[in-house]
Each structure stands twice: as structure tokens, then as C-alpha cells.
Structure 1
Amino acid sequence: MTAAYTFFKLVIFRPLVKYGYSTIVIGAENFPKEGGAILASNHIGALDSLVVPAMMPREITFPAKKELFSGKGGIGQKIVAWFLKTVGMVSMDRSGGRASAAALGEITAVLEEGRVVAIYPEGTRSPDGRLYKGKTGMARMALTHDVPVIPVGVSGTKSFKGPFGIPWAKRPVVVIGRPLHFPDYAESPNNSKALRWVTDETMAAIQQLTGQEYVDVYASRVKHGDLAGGGADAFVLPRPGGGDAPVIEPRPES
């Protein structure tokens, strides 16, 4: 770990999260001790980006949306922004183009250095506590770099105002699942069927850890799109995907 990350994590944030919030971690033995990996977590509360890295046994790089780095709003937003910047998180500009490409370049460097990148596959915070369809960017990174995906399930991170206005949570639970590895598809990082299957299997693993109801649409549709007024219940499924691995035809030799 870098010196700044170690100091702020062990001296300030882990004690706050572990003892102040009384956070429980289950399955810590499943976390790989070394090597590049992608941590894939559900996203239910603003404190997820504080609780998860504070309780992991290794340094975590979170490519969080750039708005979190602005510190605009109350003291809670300022604390989150300060924490993310101090411990070296990556600002993810989702506007596309050169800005997004720069962020992806930083993520690639982290994985190539044998470190851990954390991703919210849903792309945004759940609007109602349910688990939503995952985006395939996480799968593309996992297959491109042939690294395992560590499913993580988080609950109890809904915040409220605590002492001195500090955002507080009551007994969050972080469950770390067994790493998922998809070497059979490492040579097909751009195959849409492989990307969707890897994503769905990762989301299914997260669902097993959290017990959340699964809705087979993107959360952004429910928050800002055509389902903002209701209708998402029609897309509830028992689990993400069908569970059957796709058959990828080998590429013809040139």
C-alpha cells in the first residue's frame, strides 16, 4: 500500500468504519492475497465507497464517478471526496470521449501492476435497494486482462447524520464471495455474448451474497428513464441471466 493509503485507512477510516459503524466482514479468506483482480459490488448507499475499501485486506482503487470528487453539498460529500482523493481513487468521467478513455487507461495500469480495481457493475446506486442489471464494462476489463472477479455484497450502508454531522451507518455487513475466473473467454474480450454472460454470472454471485431481488433492467432507466414513474416490477427475475455458458466459435486462423 502507498503511505497515504495506509495511514488514512488504518488510522482514520478503518477504525471509523469497523468500530464506529460496527461493520461486519464475512468471507475475508476469499480475497486473493496477491495479483490483479476486479472487485464487483452492489451499490445501495453513498457510504459504499467508504465502507468497502476501508474493510478490504488489500489496497483498492475505486473508479468513482467524477461528481463524488467535487465535494459539493454537505459535510458528508466533502468527507467522501476528501477520502477518495487522498487514497488515490480514479475519477471516472462518464461523458465519453477522451475524458473517459483517460480514466480507463488509469484502471488498466492498476490491473497491470497486480493491484485491485473495484467496480459497481450496476453503474449507479440502486434507486430502491434492489439489484439491477449489470453493465458489461467490468466483464470486458476482466477478460482483457484475464483477472478474477471478486463478488462482494454490501448491506446496511444507508447513511444518516451522526455525531458532528458525520455521515453514519448502523452495522453494515460486507460479504466477500469466492473469486470468479473466466479464462475460457479471455481471448474473446469483445464478444457480446461472453460479456453479457460474465456480467450476469457476476451479478448472480452478488445476489447470492445479498439476497436482493433482481430487476432485469438498468437502474438508470428506473432513476431517470422511461421507468421512473413505475413499471420496473414487470422485469423482476429469479436471477440474472439463464446460467448457461455461451459457446464461442474459435476465430479462424489467418
Structure 2
Amino acid sequence: MYWLMKHILLGPLLRLFFRPKIEGAENIPAAGGALLASNHLAVSDSFFLPLMVDRRVTFPAKIEYFTEPGIKGRFKKWFFTGVGQIPIDRSGASAAQAALDTAVRLLREGKLMGIYPEGTRSPDGRLYRGKTGVARIALQAGVPVIPVAMFGTDKANPIGSKMWRPYPIRIKVGKPLDFSRYEGLDGDRFIERSITDEIMYALMELSGQEYVDMYAAKAKEAVPDRLPDAKAS
């Protein structure tokens, strides 16, 4: 299904209307586990990045995409499964741990995973403070973190839009970040924060975005009237 979506059903349409380009693809290893840490401008980020990477990319996605009842719900489950996303329950502490464990297991199996350190979409195109889960996953799985900057997806798929708009998409992949010097120190909140900040700094340099030292979710709460779908993302 992933191959069909990428090469037959969805991929050709995305290439036709959005002309996506990727720079630095050679920084992604041809085999072995690695974590692609990307800025997050729009839902469409999770479509264009897998489209432009030769290897299969797995993204965690909120479980609501997979549990909606009815015909529409079955279609959503089929679609998100087909584009390589796995359901993650984010409703509590135990659910968050299960999500982390799933990511670590897949990376140890040699899979390529995508993650958004900001935790949710940027409400205004700026880069927000990263959550330390990305550091914990990287340390426990023992894999490199590869920064990825998305450009144009917020123009093609603006927050609250029902339809995507043709707009050129560009992806820039940075050099892998090696955190093996911190092996065995997962769970140390100071180490995890230091690693996360290093990842976010790399993303800031790669994307050219203005950095905001607060969580994106908090920023969304501060402007609910301007962001009608903020709580759903």
C-alpha cells in the first residue's frame, strides 16, 4: 500500500501540482535506523517528506485518525496506514510511554522514522521550543538524528484550509547529529534538554525560521480566535 500511494495513487499528483524538490538527501543513510527531526508547518509535511525520500518513512500520528467510525473513518484508517503512519495514543502518561517505546522498537529494527520535535504545527511559521521526547528516543534507540527543514507546505496547506493549493515545496536535509557521547544517559532531563536544544538550533539554521523559546501548543492557546483548528492539531 505504501508503494502504491507513493508511486501510483498519490505521489504523481503531489509531484504534478507542487513540484517538490529535496536538497541533502545524501545525508539520509541508505540503511539502518535514523530519526528525521523536522520542523512542522502543515499536515502536508507528513506527505511530502516520505514522497521525496527513497526509503520508507514512518511517522507517528494521533490515534483519532485511525478510530473514527463509519465509511469516512475506514477510509482515513486505510489512507493514513497507506502513507506510513502509525497510531499513537497521546491521552496520558502511559500512552506517551507506549508511543516512545514503539518509536524506539522501530528504530532498533532499522527503520527510518520522522518526528516533529515541536509536538504540533507551528501557529505562525516560526520555530518553537522542542519537546525532549526526540532526545530520549534517539538515546534509547542509539540512532543519529537528521534535521529536516520543510519550506512552502504552510502555503500549500494553510492552517484551517479544506483544500490544498498548488505551491512549490522544498525540503532541505542537514548533516546527521551524533549523540552517542551521551549513551546511557537517557532519563537525565538536563542531558535530554541539551540534546533537544541542539536539534532545534540545527533546525533553526537549516530553515532560517525565527526561534521562539516557548512550546507551540502554548502559543496556540494564546491565539485561539485566529487559529480555529489549533486544538485539533
Instruction: Check whether TM > 0.5.
Output: yes
Aligned counterpart in structure 2 of residue 66 of structure 1, from 53, 63, 67? 63
The answer to whether the 8 Å contact 1:41/1:152 transfers is yes
- Alpha-carbon distance in structure 1 between the residues aligned to 2:17 and 2:127: 27
Give the 5 Å matches for 1:144-163.
Answer: 144-158=140-154, 159=156
| 1:111 and 2:107 aligned | yes
| 1:129 and 2:125 aligned | yes
- Alpha-carbon distance in structure 1 between the residues aligned to 2:74 and 2:126: 27
| 1:86 and 2:97 aligned | no
| 1:199 and 2:225 aligned | no
Cα displacement string for residues 18-64 of structure 1 (whole angstroms, at most 9, x for unaligned residues) = 23211111111111111101110000112111111111121111002
Higher relative contact order (CA 8 A, sep 6+): 2
Give the 5 Å matches for 1:8-87.
Answer: 8-69=5-66, 82-87=78-83
Please, what is the CA RMSD of the aligned residues?
2.5
Amino acid at match of 1:61: T
Which runs of 5 or more structure 2 residues have no equivalent in the other structure?
A: 225-233
The answer to whether the 8 Å contact 1:71/1:82 transfers is no
Of 7-16 and 145-154, the range deviating more from structure 2: 7-16
* Equivalent in the alignment of 1:238: none
* Equivalent in the alignment of 2:98: 102
* Equivalent in the alignment of 2:2: 5
Shift of 1:71: 6.6
Of 90-99 and 208-217, the range deviating more from structure 2: 90-99
State which structure, 1 or 2, has the greater radius of gyration over its C-alpha atoms.
1
Change (3 A) 1:27 1:124: same
Change (3 A) 1:64 1:36: same
Change (3 A) 1:23 1:81: farther
Cα displacement string for residues 133-167 of structure 1 (whole angstroms, at most 9, x for unaligned residues) = 00000100101111000100001012359xxx853
Query: What is the aligned residue count?
Result: 218
Change (3 A) 1:107 1:94: same
Task: Give the TM-score taking structure 1 as reference length.
Answer: 0.78
Task: Give the TM-score taking structure 2 as reference length.
Answer: 0.84
Aligned residue for 1:63, secondary structure, equals: strand
Aligned residue for 2:10, secondary structure, equals: helix
Change (3 A) 1:25 1:78: farther
Shift of 1:104: 3.0
Aligned residue for 1:188, secondary structure, equals: coil
Shift of 1:82: 4.4
Which runs of 5 or more structure 1 residues have no equivalent in the other structure?
A: 231-254
- Alpha-carbon distance in structure 2 between the residues aligned to 1:101 and 1:8: 30
Greater per-residue helix proportion: 2
Aligned residue for 2:105, secondary structure, equals: helix
* Equivalent in the alignment of 1:250: none
Percent identity over the alignment?
44
